[in-house]
Structures are given as C-alpha cells and as structure tokens.
C-alpha cells in the first residue's frame, strides 16, 4: 500500500469515530432512551432497633446494613443518581427475628424524581443478630504512676469495683476484666481522677465491641512522702565469759511512709532482740525491724544488717628473768631468777605483745641472813591487760654471810 492510500485510510477511520460519537450524543440527548443502572452498597437505616433487647438479641458490632438496587429511567436522569440520593429503611418490628442471619424486607423511603426502583417489593437486607448478654466483671487497676523523688504511692481506691458489660455474646463472653490503664508522671500529690474503663480478655487483649456501664471509674491514689529514721538495735542475754562487746552498729536507715501526723511521732525504729549469748566472734546479723501500726516502709524493707563487734579474751604464759636491785653487802644470795606469769586480755592486745616489753624485777634491800620470801614486780604490761597469776608468787631467797 502506497503512502497516499495509508493517509486515506486514517482519515476514513477518524471520520467514522466522529460520526459514532455524534450519533451517541444524539441518542442520549435527543432520543434520551430508558436505561437501567445498578447502584451498589446503598446504606439502609434501621427502625425500631430497641425491640431487640426485649428479644434478648443484638446486632453485631459495627454492622452496617447495605443493599444493591437497580434504578430505571431516562439515561440523562439515571446516570446522575448517587447512592446517597436514595433513602432505604428496614423496620425490625413485626418479624420473627432469630440469632444468625435474618432476611428482612426494606422500605424505599425516598429516591430522585424521574427514576424508579426496579423490583422494590422483593428487596431484602441481611441482618445478622447475636444473643444479647450482660455480666458483671471486676475493675482492675493497671495504671502507671511515676513518682517524684522522695514520694511514694500509698493506698488505691477504685469506685465502682465492678461494672456491667453488655452486647453481643460472642464478644461479651470473652471479657474477663475491666482495666484502668491511665499513666501518671512526676507525681507528688494525691491522685483523684475520673478515668475511662476498657474491657480485656484473658489474653490481655482489649475487647472494644462491647458496652460498659458505667464506662468510667473514680480512681483515688494517696501519695505519701517518706521519712528516714535511724535504727535502735535491741539485745538480750549476755556474752560468754571470754568475749567482750566492743560495739553494735548498723549504717542503714529505713524510710517509713504514712500520714504526716503519724511520721512526726516516729524518731527511730527498733529491731528484734539479738541474743548475745550466741555471739562468740564478730559477725553480721540480719534482724527484723518492728514496724509501727499505721506506717509502711519503702520497698517493703523490713530487715537490717547489724554488725556485732566483739573481742575474745585469751590468756598467755610468759617466762621472764628477774632483774635484781639493792642487794645487801656482806651476804651471798641464792634464789631462782626464772619466773613465769599468765596474762589475760583482749586477743588482739595480748597477741601484739613483743618480747622484752614486760619485765620482772626484785628489790633485795630487805633481805636478811637466812631464808627470805621476797615479792617481785612485773612492769611493762600494756593497758587493758592484767596479770592473772605469777609463778612463783614470791621468791625464796637464801642469804649467807660472806666469809
């Protein structure tokens, strides 16, 4: 095909299209033929829904009734109609309604002039119903309270403690509790607020398609400020004979919570008594603290660590050599210069004694010819240590005149 022939073919096609469009315009605007037109998802209003409760039935949550309709009329009218131009209603009164799907006739309330609804006497809408149930469930507090430093959450009161849950059985029967889920931050004073309630199932998932009555609760949380108090450690019994008490200490203070007037009366807390007869060495003891009525302690801290520091008393035998002084002239003296002593004192002090620290000396100025019993002196014994015994108690000295 040559170039001119192709050009003629294209021109003919364009002319045909234009002619077809003009014919279509003529038919629709001049002839205006009758047409049918289907409109989908036309909303259906509900009348007398309140009778469902008398029948112990209810519509499913979020159920939207819609229906498809076919309209008929002149083309220029039909194609202008929108679904919002048609008003359809279903009346629930007077029908034998049941759980499950119900096909109920609808009433065409209003539609645009110039068109008609085809087969309107046969139009039905599907209404799905469920058993209507009610039950009471407990209100639980899941609120989060973030306190300012030094402040603590006290008692919590919720009113009411139970609420009625109602609606479709498939949803109501899954509800196990109603929760308060509000959050509070930087709190330093009492909380008193009307809070929204939410229904939850056993898995902790919120159930939204039910009704709650009431839908709110009064939440009251008391906020208290703590007070740090010292601990008085009580004891009973006595230490063993060879043990001496040095000190009983606890560095811990406990923070008590309660009403301001109550806290003002508390200056210290006392512990249960520690039995000293069971203490044989320095040890740490965990002991319960008596908490007065009307107060609590932060973090439920009801025990303290107490350090009981003791020192054991020991004895130590030391051998010494007598140093003599003031021996009389003209007498030959004979006596045993070896003596021993037994020291008694704190273990640390006794163990720290070095050789040569303690000395024994004898004053011989009172010796006379013959047999003498002379006392001797122990010096250099550290403070806190006593000489329990001396052996011998006195020194036997024999004095003979020199030739």
Q: What is the pLDDT of residues 365-391, one digit of tens each?
A: 999 999 999 999 999 999 989 999 999
Q: Read off the pLDDT of residues 155-204 as tens digits, 9 standing for 90 and up.
A: 899 999 999 999 999 999 999 999 999 999 988 888 999 999 999 999 99
Q: What is the DSSP string of 143-178?
A: -EEEEPTTEEEEEEEEE-SEEEEEEEHHHHTTEEEE
Give the start-end residues of each E strand in 202-250.
Answer: 206-207, 211-213, 216-225, 227-232, 235-236, 243-249
pTM attached to this predicted model: 0.53
Amino acid 365: pLDDT: 93
Q: Which residues of 227-245 are buried (b: 16+ CB within 10 A; e: fewer)?
A: bebebebebeeebeeebee
More confident residue, 200 or 117: 200
Is-contact 218 182, C-beta < 8 A? no
Pairing of strands 175-180, 124-141: parallel
Amino acid 270: pLDDT: 93
Say if residue 32's pLDDT is above 70.
no
Percent of the chain with pLDDT over 70: 93
Could you give the CA distance from residue 122 to residue 106 in angstroms, rounded to a whole number? 8
The residues near 388 (Cβ < 8 Å, ≥ 6 apart) are 315, 341, 342, 343, 344
Is-contact 161 177, C-beta < 8 A? no
Amino acid 148: pLDDT: 84
Could you give the CA distance from residue 201 to residue 171 in angstroms, rounded to a whole number? 9
Say if residue 28's pLDDT is above 80.
no
Q: How confident is the model at residue 112 (pLDDT cuts 50, 70, 90)?
A: very high
Q: Read off the pLDDT of residues 254-281 as tens digits, 9 standing for 90 and up.
A: 888 877 788 888 989 999 999 999 998 9
Amino acid 227: pLDDT: 85
Edge-to-edge, what's the strand order for the sheet holding 395-401? 331-334, 395-401, 370-374
Amino acid 390: pLDDT: 95
Is-contact 362 378, C-beta < 8 A? no
Could you give the CA distance from residue 174 to residue 170 in angstroms, rounded to a whole number? 7
Q: Read off the pLDDT of residues 240-256 as tens digits, 9 standing for 90 and up.
A: 988 889 899 997 888 88
Q: Read off the pLDDT of residues 288-323 as tens digits, 9 standing for 90 and up.
A: 999 988 888 877 788 999 999 999 888 999 999 999
Say if residue 23's pLDDT is above 60.
no
């Amino acid at each position: 095909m040559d170039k001119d022939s192709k050009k003629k073919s294209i021109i003919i096609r364009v002319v045909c299209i234009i002619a077809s469009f003009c014919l279509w315009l003529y038919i629709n605007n001049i002839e205006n033929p009758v047409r049918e037109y289907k409109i989908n998802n036309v909303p259906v209003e509900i009348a007398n829904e309140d009778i469902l409760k008398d029948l112990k039935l209810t519509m499913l949550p979020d159920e939207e009734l819609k229906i498809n309709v076919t309209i008929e009329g002149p083309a220029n009218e039909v194609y202008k109609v929108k679904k919002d131009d048609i008003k359809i209603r279903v009346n629930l009164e007077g029908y034998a309604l049941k759980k499950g799907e119900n096909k109920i006739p609808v009433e065409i309330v209003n539609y645009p002039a110039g068109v008609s609804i085809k087969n309107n006497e046969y139009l039905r809408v599907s209404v799905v119903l469920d058993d209507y149930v009610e039950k009471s469930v407990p209100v639980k507090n899941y609120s989060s309270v973030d306190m300012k430093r030094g402040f603590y959450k006290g008692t919590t009161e919720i009113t009411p403690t139970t609420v009625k849950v109602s609606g479709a059985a498939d949803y109501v029967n899954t509800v196990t509790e109603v929760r308060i889920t509000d959050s509070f931050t930087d709190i330093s004073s009492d909380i008193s607020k009307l809070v929204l309630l939410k229904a939850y199932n056993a898995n902790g998932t919120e159930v939204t398609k039910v009704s709650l009555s009431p839908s709110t609760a009064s939440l009251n949380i008391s906020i208290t400020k703590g007070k740090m108090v010292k601990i008085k450690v009580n004891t009973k019994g006595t230490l063993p004979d060879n043990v001496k008490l040095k000190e009983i200490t606890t560095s811990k203070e406990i923070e008590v919570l309660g009403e301001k007037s109550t806290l003002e009366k508390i200056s210290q807390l006392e512990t249960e008594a520690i039995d000293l007869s069971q203490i044989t060495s320095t040890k740490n003891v965990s002991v319960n603290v008596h908490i007065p009525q009307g107060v609590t302690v932060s973090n439920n801290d009801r025990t303290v660590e107490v350090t009981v520091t003791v020192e054991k008393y020991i004895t130590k035998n030391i051998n010494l050599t007598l140093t003599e002084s003031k021996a009389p002239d003209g007498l030959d003296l004979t006596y045993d210069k070896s003596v021993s002593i037994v020291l008694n004192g704190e273990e640390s002090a006794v163990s720290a004694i070095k050789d040569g620290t303690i000395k024994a000396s004898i004053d011989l100025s009172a010796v006379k010819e013959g047999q003498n019993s002379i006392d001797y002196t122990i010096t250099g014994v550290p403070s806190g240590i006593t000489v329990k015994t001396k052996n011998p108690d006195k020194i036997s000295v024999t004095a003979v005149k020199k030739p």
